[in-house]
Amino acid sequence: MTNANKTTKREDISAPEADLIRHSATISHSARLGSASYNLFYVFFYFSSIYNVVKGM
């Protein structure tokens, strides 16, 4: 939170721009979370398919 306050107080960045920066940071954070859950699902699918092949042998 202290970082956001510093950004709004700086003269070269207006308040709407600071809001936009904060918003884009939130979007990238949620995208990172989504890709992490997708990777977990992919790894689970990969291991379950390997398990099925080994079980079939």
Q: What pTM value is reported for the model?
A: 0.39
CB 18 within 8 A of CB 8: yes
Asked if residue 10 is part of any domain, the answer here is: no
Asked if residue 1 is part of any domain, the answer here is: no
Q: What is the number of alpha carbons within 13 Å of residue 50 lying toward its C-beta? A: 6
Asked if residue 8 is part of any domain, the answer here is: no
Asked whether residue 47 carries a pLDDT value surpassing 90, the answer given is yes
- Residues 39, 43: Cα–Cα separation, whole Å: 6
Asked if residue 27 is part of any domain, the answer here is: yes
Asked if residue 3 is part of any domain, the answer here is: no
Tens-place pLDDT, residues 14-43: 677 777 777 777 767 777 777 777 888 889
Asked if residue 2 is part of any domain, the answer here is: no
Domain that holds residue 48: 15-56
**In the structure, how many helices (H) and strands (E) does the chain have?**
2, 0
Asked if residue 46 is part of any domain, the answer here is: yes
Asked if residue 39 is part of any domain, the answer here is: yes
